[in-house]
Protein backbone atom coordinates (compact mmCIF):
# COMPACT_ATOMS: atom_id res chain seq x y z
CA UNK A 1 0.00 0.00 0.00
CA UNK A 2 2.60 2.53 1.03
CA UNK A 3 4.62 1.66 -2.06
CA UNK A 4 1.73 2.35 -4.49
CA UNK A 5 0.99 5.62 -2.65
CA UNK A 6 4.56 6.80 -3.15
CA UNK A 7 4.42 5.89 -6.80
CA UNK A 8 1.12 7.69 -7.24
CA UNK A 9 2.51 10.80 -5.55
CA UNK A 10 5.61 11.02 -7.67
CA UNK A 11 3.51 10.32 -10.76
CA UNK A 12 1.14 13.19 -10.00
CA UNK A 13 4.15 15.46 -9.40
CA UNK A 14 5.43 14.47 -12.81
CA UNK A 15 2.08 15.26 -14.41
CA UNK A 16 2.01 18.69 -12.79
CA UNK A 17 5.59 19.39 -13.90
CA UNK A 18 4.83 18.28 -17.45
CA UNK A 19 1.73 20.45 -17.56
CA UNK A 20 3.69 23.44 -16.26
CA UNK A 21 6.33 23.01 -18.93
CA UNK A 22 3.73 22.52 -21.63
CA UNK A 23 1.91 25.74 -20.72
CA UNK A 24 4.92 27.83 -19.89
CA UNK A 25 7.02 27.00 -22.94
CA UNK A 26 4.99 28.83 -25.62
CA UNK A 27 4.71 31.89 -23.37
CA UNK A 28 8.47 32.03 -23.02
CA UNK A 29 9.12 31.31 -26.66
CA UNK A 30 6.97 34.07 -28.13
CA UNK A 31 6.63 37.36 -26.34
CA UNK A 32 3.80 38.72 -28.50
CA UNK A 33 1.48 35.92 -27.36
CA UNK A 34 1.12 37.85 -24.10
CA UNK A 35 -1.09 40.33 -25.99
CA UNK A 36 -4.32 39.24 -27.63
CA UNK A 37 -6.41 41.54 -29.80
CA UNK A 38 -10.05 40.50 -29.72
CA UNK A 39 -13.01 41.50 -31.87
CA UNK A 40 -11.43 44.30 -33.84
CA UNK A 41 -13.99 46.22 -35.94
CA UNK A 42 -14.55 49.50 -37.68
CA UNK A 43 -17.78 51.20 -38.61
CA UNK A 44 -18.79 52.03 -42.14
CA UNK A 45 -18.04 55.68 -42.86
CA UNK A 46 -20.35 58.25 -44.47
CA UNK A 47 -19.72 59.16 -48.12
CA UNK A 48 -16.61 61.24 -48.61
CA UNK A 49 -15.59 60.97 -44.95
CA UNK A 50 -11.86 61.40 -44.44
CA UNK A 51 -11.72 59.76 -41.03
CA UNK A 52 -12.77 56.53 -39.40
CA UNK A 53 -12.22 54.67 -36.16
CA UNK A 54 -11.17 51.14 -35.20
CA UNK A 55 -12.34 49.51 -31.99
CA UNK A 56 -11.18 46.33 -30.22
CA UNK A 57 -10.40 44.72 -26.90
CA UNK A 58 -6.72 44.28 -26.02
CA UNK A 59 -5.95 41.56 -23.45
CA UNK A 60 -2.63 41.40 -21.69
CA UNK A 61 -2.04 37.91 -20.31
CA UNK A 62 1.42 38.67 -19.00
CA UNK A 63 2.41 39.99 -15.60
CA UNK A 64 4.04 43.07 -17.11
CA UNK A 65 2.20 46.17 -18.24
CA UNK A 66 2.42 46.96 -21.95
CA UNK A 67 1.43 49.86 -24.13
CA UNK A 68 -0.14 50.29 -27.56
CA UNK A 69 2.21 52.81 -29.14
CA UNK A 70 1.20 52.91 -32.78
CA UNK A 71 -0.78 51.50 -35.66
CA UNK A 72 -0.52 51.36 -39.41
CA UNK A 73 -2.76 50.34 -42.29
CA UNK A 74 -3.01 50.81 -46.04
CA UNK A 75 -6.52 52.24 -45.83
CA UNK A 76 -5.46 55.61 -44.41
CA UNK A 77 -2.56 58.08 -44.56
CA UNK A 78 -2.11 58.25 -40.81
CA UNK A 79 -3.26 56.36 -37.76
CA UNK A 80 -3.38 57.78 -34.27
CA UNK A 81 -4.40 56.43 -30.89
CA UNK A 82 -7.10 58.65 -29.45
CA UNK A 83 -9.01 59.16 -26.31
CA UNK A 84 -12.51 60.55 -26.76
CA UNK A 85 -15.00 61.66 -24.16
CA UNK A 86 -18.11 63.76 -23.86
CA UNK A 87 -17.88 66.12 -20.89
CA UNK A 88 -20.79 68.42 -20.02
CA UNK A 89 -22.17 67.92 -23.50
CA UNK A 90 -18.86 68.76 -25.17
CA UNK A 91 -17.02 66.15 -27.24
CA UNK A 92 -13.29 66.20 -26.62
CA UNK A 93 -10.85 64.08 -28.58
CA UNK A 94 -7.13 63.91 -27.90
CA UNK A 95 -4.25 61.95 -29.34
CA UNK A 96 -2.44 59.84 -26.76
CA UNK A 97 1.16 60.73 -27.67
CA UNK A 98 2.59 58.30 -25.11
CA UNK A 99 0.38 55.45 -26.22
CA UNK A 100 -2.45 53.55 -24.56
CA UNK A 101 -1.43 51.54 -21.46
CA UNK A 102 -2.52 47.91 -21.28
CA UNK A 103 -2.31 46.82 -17.63
CA UNK A 104 -0.57 43.60 -16.57
CA UNK A 105 -3.04 40.69 -16.48
CA UNK A 106 -5.70 43.10 -17.59
CA UNK A 107 -7.32 44.54 -20.65
CA UNK A 108 -8.30 47.78 -22.27
CA UNK A 109 -11.40 48.27 -24.40
CA UNK A 110 -11.45 50.55 -27.42
CA UNK A 111 -15.10 51.39 -28.12
CA UNK A 112 -17.34 54.15 -29.45
CA UNK A 113 -17.35 57.12 -27.13
CA UNK A 114 -14.02 56.11 -25.61
CA UNK A 115 -10.60 55.02 -26.94
CA UNK A 116 -10.14 54.34 -30.63
CA UNK A 117 -7.49 54.03 -33.30
CA UNK A 118 -8.31 56.93 -35.59
CA UNK A 119 -7.86 56.52 -39.33
CA UNK A 120 -6.90 59.89 -40.81
CA UNK A 121 -6.98 60.53 -44.54
CA UNK A 122 -9.07 57.53 -45.58
CA UNK A 123 -8.22 56.56 -49.15
CA UNK A 124 -11.81 55.44 -49.69
CA UNK A 125 -14.87 55.12 -47.47
CA UNK A 126 -15.09 52.03 -45.28
CA UNK A 127 -17.93 49.87 -46.55
CA UNK A 128 -19.86 47.43 -44.38
CA UNK A 129 -18.98 43.82 -45.19
CA UNK A 130 -15.43 44.59 -46.26
CA UNK A 131 -12.33 44.19 -44.13
CA UNK A 132 -8.80 45.58 -44.02
CA UNK A 133 -5.46 44.71 -42.41
CA UNK A 134 -4.20 46.64 -39.41
CA UNK A 135 -0.82 46.37 -37.72
CA UNK A 136 -0.58 47.36 -34.08
CA UNK A 137 2.70 48.13 -32.34
CA UNK A 138 3.19 47.45 -28.65
CA UNK A 139 6.09 48.66 -26.53
CA UNK A 140 6.90 45.15 -25.27
CA UNK A 141 4.95 42.66 -27.36
CA UNK A 142 6.12 44.10 -30.68
CA UNK A 143 3.83 44.16 -33.70
CA UNK A 144 0.56 42.29 -34.06
CA UNK A 145 -1.38 42.15 -37.32
CA UNK A 146 -5.14 41.77 -37.35
CA UNK A 147 -7.93 41.86 -39.92
CA UNK A 148 -10.57 44.46 -39.20
CA UNK A 149 -14.09 43.75 -40.46
CA UNK A 150 -16.17 46.80 -41.35
CA UNK A 151 -19.59 46.78 -39.74
CA UNK A 152 -22.68 48.90 -40.32
CA UNK A 153 -22.67 52.48 -39.24
CA UNK A 154 -23.71 52.66 -35.61
CA UNK A 155 -22.63 49.07 -34.94
CA UNK A 156 -21.43 48.26 -31.46
CA UNK A 157 -19.74 45.25 -29.89
CA UNK A 158 -19.83 46.33 -26.29
CA UNK A 159 -19.40 43.43 -23.92
CA UNK A 160 -21.81 44.44 -21.19
CA UNK A 161 -22.00 47.91 -19.75
CA UNK A 162 -24.08 50.76 -21.09
CA UNK A 163 -23.96 49.61 -24.67
CA UNK A 164 -26.29 46.72 -23.99
CA UNK A 165 -28.94 48.80 -22.32
CA UNK A 166 -31.55 49.69 -24.88
CA UNK A 167 -29.34 51.34 -27.40
CA UNK A 168 -27.47 48.38 -28.76
CA UNK A 169 -30.29 46.27 -30.16
CA UNK A 170 -31.64 49.33 -31.83
CA UNK A 171 -28.39 50.48 -33.33
CA UNK A 172 -27.88 47.07 -34.85
CA UNK A 173 -31.33 47.02 -36.36
CA UNK A 174 -30.76 50.41 -37.91
CA UNK A 175 -29.94 49.01 -41.32
CA UNK A 176 -27.22 46.74 -42.53
CA UNK A 177 -25.47 49.17 -44.82
CA UNK A 178 -23.95 52.57 -44.51
CA UNK A 179 -26.59 54.08 -46.69
CA UNK A 180 -29.85 54.55 -44.84
CA UNK A 181 -31.99 55.85 -47.62
CA UNK A 182 -31.64 56.03 -51.33
CA UNK A 183 -32.16 59.31 -53.08
Listed ranges 14-22, 44-52, 67-75, 132-140: which one lies at the site for another protein (CB under 8 A): 44-52
Antiparallel, parallel or unpaired: β 142-151 and 35-43: parallel
Spatial contact of 174 and 157, defined as CB atoms under 8 Å apart: no
Listed ranges 17-25, 27-35, 59-67, 171-179: which one lies at the site for another protein (CB under 8 A): 171-179
From the CB of 10, what's the least distance to another protein, in Å?
59
Q: Rule CB under 8 A: is residue 40 a binding residue for another protein?
A: no
Binder among 9, 13, 61, 78 for another protein (CB under 8 A): 78
d(CA 65, CA 83): 19
From the CB of 65, what's the least distance to another protein, in Å?
24
Q: Rule CB under 8 A: is residue 120 a binding residue for another protein?
A: yes
Give the number of other Cβ atoms within 10 Å of residue 97's Cβ: 8
Binding mask 86-105 for another protein (x = CB under 8 A): x--xxxxxxx-x--------
Complex with another protein: residue 73 or 80, whichever CB lies closer: 80
Interface positions with another protein (CB under 8 A): 43, 45-53, 78, 80, 82, 84, 86, 89-95, 97, 112-113, 116, 118-120, 153-154, 162, 165-167, 170-171, 174-175, 178-181, 183
Amino acid sequence: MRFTETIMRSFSKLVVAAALIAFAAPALAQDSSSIAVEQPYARATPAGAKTGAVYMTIDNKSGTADKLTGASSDVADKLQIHQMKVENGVMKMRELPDGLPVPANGSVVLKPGSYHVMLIGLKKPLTAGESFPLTLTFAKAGTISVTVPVQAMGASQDKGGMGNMGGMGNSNSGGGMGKMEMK
